[in-house]
Amino acid sequence: MPNEISSSINHPVLSSFDYRSPDPIEIKSGLWDLKPFKAAGVDGFQLGFFQRYWDTVGTSIVYHIQEVFSNLSINEEWNCTMICLIPKTQCPSSIKNFRPISLCTTIYKIVSKILVKRLKPIIASAVSFNQGASIPDALQLFGFPSNSLKLIHSCISSVKHQILMNGELTGNVCPGRGIRQADPLSPYLFIMAMELLSKCIEFEVARGKWKSPSVKGTRISHLLYADDVLLFVKIDKNSVLTVKKALGLFLDISGLSVNESKSSIWFSPNTISNEKDFILRTLPFRCSPKPRTYLGFPLCSGTKKRDFSEIVKRIRDKVESWKAPLLSKPWRVTLIKSVSAATANYYMQALPFPMSICKEIDKIHRNFLWGSSNDRKKIHLFALMRAAEFSHLTVNDNNNDVFKAPVLVSWISPPAGWWKINIDGSCTSLSNNIAAGGIVRDYCGNWVLGFSKFLGGGTILCAKFWAILIGLELANSAEGSKIIVESDSLAVITLINDLNTPTSHHFFLSSRVADALAKYGISSRCGLTEFQTVPPFLSDLFWRDYFGFSYQDGAGASDMLEL
C-alpha cells in the first residue's frame, strides 16, 4: 500500500483507544444497554435474567469480564455462536436465500458492548463523510494499540458456529474469516474496514487518476453505507483502470470480495458502444439498462404510476403472505402498522407518491384488515376515514395521504419514596358480574402486592371504585404513606374531584397487569385474593412493565389521583 494512504488512515485519536480492564460500573452499564429479551445464545439465558438477578450473579460476571480484558483474549466457549437462518424469500431454495443471524452468549455480548461504547466516541473523527455506516490487518493501519488489536482479534478469530436446523444444533463450524450479524462489534469493524476503500479512492482522486463527475458544482466519487457502495467515474481509459486498481488493492488488504451477482454498471445515455465494451471487459460487472436501487430506494424514479409498481408489488406480496383468516383484527392492525405501513413510510421519506399510489396502498391495507380479496368482497364496517383512524393507517388531509406513526406509552414509575396503585375493573356483558383488581409497585417498579376480588352484580364504574378502596386499604396496611392511584376511568376521577379530593390528570395507558387481575377475579369468582409475589399468569406483563416496554396508545386515557 502507498505510504500516502497509510499515513492518511493512521488517525492519532485511535491510538488512545482504551483497552484497560473495565470497572464494575462500566460492566453493569454495558449489560443494561443491551435489550433484555433478545434471543438467547447457546448458554440459554436472555440478558433480562442477568439484569434481574444482578445482585446474585453480578460479582461472577464482573470477574470473568475483567479476566477477558486482562488476558486480552476470550474463552472459546463464551465465543460459541448459534446461527439461526432467517429466510429472505418466500420459498428459499439455496443457502443464499437465508440470512444468518448470530445468537451470541451473554458474556461475549457484554464484552463486545464495552468495546463498542469505547470505540463509538472516537470513530466519528476517523471515518470519511462519504460513509454512512481479515479485518485486523485493516485495523492495524488505523493506528490501534497492539493490545486492543489483540483483544479484538480474539473476539473475531476464536468463533465457533453451531447452526440451528429444525430445532437441533449441528456440530461446530470454525470460520476462516468474516464477522457476525447481530454482534454489537461487527458494524463498527466493518465501517473501519470500508474506510480503507474510501481512502484508496480519495488518494486516486487527489492524484487526478480517478476523474469523478460533478453534480451541481460538487464532485462525487463514491458513497458508502456499510456494504452498499456507489462509485461515480467519468468514461475514460485511465479512470476505469484506476477503479480496477483501487478495488483490487482494497480487496487484497481487507480480505473481502465483491458480490458480482448484485453489482452492475449503468452508463449515461450518450456513452458510445466502444467505450462500453472496453469498460465491461475491464471490470467484472454486467451492464444495467437503468440505475438500480441504493438502500432500497430506486435511483431513477419518475412520477408516473408505473414507476412505483415495484414498491406496490412489494407491499402487496408482504400483505398477501400473511394468513388473514387466522388473525384477529387487532393482530392485523399490528402487522399493518409495524410492517406494511412502515415499508411505505420508508419510501415516502424521499419519493413523492402520486395520489393514485397512496389510494392503492390504502386499499391493500383495508382489504387485509377486513378480509376482502379479488374473489370475495366483504363489508367494511367503518367508513374510510373511520377505518383509517381505527387502524392508524392513511388519513386524508387536504387530499394528501399521510401515514400516522403510532404513539408509544409505557408504565411510568412514581417519584422516589412513593408507591403507585394501578387499578381496573372487569364486567361480563351477559350477567353483569363485576370484579376489581389492582397492583401496588414502588418507585423502582418492584412488586409490593397485588389483589383481585369478585364483587357480584354491578356496573363497571362500581368495580373501579371498589378497586380504589381495596387498593388504598391494602397499601395502608402495608405501611405505605405516599400513594398514587392510577385509573383509566375519567368518570371515576371526575366524581372524586366533586368530593374536593386533590387530583391530577395524566394521559397514560392503563396498566395491563391491573386489567389481568380484574379479569382473574371474574374467572375465579373468589373473594379478596392477595398476591404477595408475582403470580405465574402475570409474569410476562409485569416484567414488560418493569423493563420499560412500550405499548401502542389507543386504549384510552388513564387518570392519576395523588393521595
Q: If you write DSSP's letter for every residue of 412-445 in order, what string do you get? A: -PPPTT-EEEEEEEEE-TTT-EEEEEEEEEETT-
Q: Dihedral sign, CA of 164, 166, 172, 173? A: negative
d(CA 319, CA 339): 9
For 538, which DSSP code? G
CB of 135 within 8 A of CB of 179?
yes
For 325, which DSSP code? G
d(CA 364, CA 372): 9
CB of 436 within 8 A of CB of 452?
yes
Consecutive H or E run containing 455: strand 447-457
CB of 233 within 8 A of CB of 219?
no
Residue with cell 454489537: 184
C-alpha torsion angle, residues 106, 112, 115, 118 (rounded to 10): -70
Specify the amino acid at residue 374. Answer: N
d(CA 514, CA 421): 9
Grid coordinates of 99: 440470512
Which H, E and C letters describe 378-402, residue by residue?
CCCCCCHHHHHHHHCCEEEECCEEE
pLDDT tens over the chain, length 563 residues = 554 445 454 555 455 556 678 889 988 988 988 888 888 888 888 888 999 899 999 999 999 989 888 888 888 888 888 888 888 777 788 877 888 888 888 888 888 888 888 777 666 555 554 444 444 444 555 566 667 667 777 777 777 777 877 777 777 777 766 667 667 777 777 777 787 888 888 888 888 888 888 877 778 888 887 678 888 888 888 888 888 888 888 888 777 788 877 888 888 888 888 888 888 888 888 888 777 777 777 776 667 777 788 888 888 888 887 776 777 777 788 888 888 888 888 887 777 788 888 888 888 888 888 877 767 776 665 544 444 444 443 333 444 443 444 455 678 888 888 888 888 888 887 677 899 999 999 988 899 999 999 998 888 888 888 998 898 889 888 888 888 888 877 777 777 665 444 444 444 455 788 988 998 998 888 889 999 998 888 887 888 788 776 665 543 334 444 44
Q: Residue 400's pLDDT is what?
A: 42
Question: 129: which residues sit within 8 A by CB, 6+ positions away?
Answer: none
Q: Could you give phi then psi for residue 179, rounded to 5 degrees? A: -125, 165
Grid coordinates of 244: 480496477
Question: 257: which residues sit within 8 A by CB, 6+ positions away?
Answer: 251
Pairing of strands 286-287, 293-294: unpaired
For 245, counting Cβ atoms within 10 Å of its Cβ (0-12 exposed, 13-18 middle, 19+ buried), the class is middle
CB of 434 within 8 A of CB of 458?
yes
d(CA 239, CA 556): 63
How far out from the chain centre does Cα 9 lie? 32
Cα 441 to Cα 122, 420, 452, 514, 546, distances in angstroms: 41, 5, 15, 11, 10
- The long-range contacts involving 340-343, CB below 8 angstroms and separated by at least 24 positions, are 340/315, 340/364, 340/365, 340/368, 341/365, 341/392, 341/393, 341/403, 343/314, 343/315, 343/318
Neighbours of 518 (CB within 10 A): 27
d(CA 148, CA 341): 44
pTM of the predicted protein model? 0.51
For 173, which DSSP code? B
Grid coordinates of 471: 387498593
Q: Residue 451's pLDDT is what?
A: 94
d(CA 125, CA 70): 28
CA nearest 534: which of 524, 525, 544, 526?
Answer: 544
Phi-psi bin for 296: left (phi > 0), alpha (psi -120 to 50), beta?
Answer: left
Cα 486 to Cα 354, 461, 495, 498, 505, distances in angstroms: 46, 15, 15, 18, 9
CB of 506 within 8 A of CB of 560?
yes
d(CA 424, CA 439): 9
CA nearest 220: which of 235, 228, 230, 208?
Answer: 230
d(CA 503, CA 493): 8
Give 425's strand partners. 436
Q: If you write DSSP's letter for every residue of 99-129 in order, what string do you get? A: EEEEE--HHHHHHHHHHHHHHHHHHTTTS-T
Mapped onto helix, strand or coil, the DSSP state of residue 219 is: strand
